[in-house]
Amino acid sequence: KIMKEAQLILGGGCFWCLDAVYREVPGVLECTSGYAGGARPNPNYEQICTGATGHAEVVKLRFDAEQISLERLLEIFFTIHDPTTLNRQGADTGTQYRSVVFCGDAEQRAAVTAFIADLTQARVFDDAIVTEISDAVPFFDAEEYHQDYFRRNPGQGYCRMVVSPKVAKYRKLFGPGA
């Protein structure tokens, strides 16, 4: 079987949450936490936390499009974060926590646009979806300690209170037997 490798960059609040979920998704070959959408080259965590660089906390997914569709990845994305809150997810506020999809090409942009239009038409959310749809931009890997953060720090407070419930929601709705 020939693998059809593709890439998608998603921002939906703290990257620890997205990273923890997408590492469990069959067909996702690699999940890297990082920064995208800002003006400064090679930003670090402290810089993006100020909001001054304009970067969002994101995950870059490499996936096998023969094993998992872009639509399924988006379905998971729109289930595990709130796409109706501008520049915030829960208590995390600032542009670095914005809901955003960085599209690799026109075909991906069209698919993301259509997916959001379908969610809007179906009135899946009470409020308007504010997810930004952006063209591809430079992606910068986050520091090593941010990679696979949830698995390496399960007892950390934020992981217990914020990340763990999102992972549980993913498993309930999309896991084996769901």
Specify the pLDDT at position 101. Answer: 98
Specify the pLDDT at position 2. Answer: 77
10-residue mean pLDDT profile of the chain (178 residues): values are 89 97 97 96 95 96 96 98 96 96 96 98 97 96 98 96 96 88
Q: Is 145 exposed, middle or buried (0-12, 13-18, 19+ CB in 10 A)?
A: exposed
Helix (H, G, I), strand (E, B) or coil at 175: coil
Q: Is 72 exposed, middle or buried (0-12, 13-18, 19+ CB in 10 A)?
A: middle
Unique residue bearing structure tokens 């959310």: 125
* Rounded Cα distance, 140 and 8, in Å: 14
Active site residue: 14, 17, 31, 159, which one? 14
* Rounded Cα distance, 20 and 25, in Å: 10
- Is 14 one of the annotated active-site residues of the chain? yes
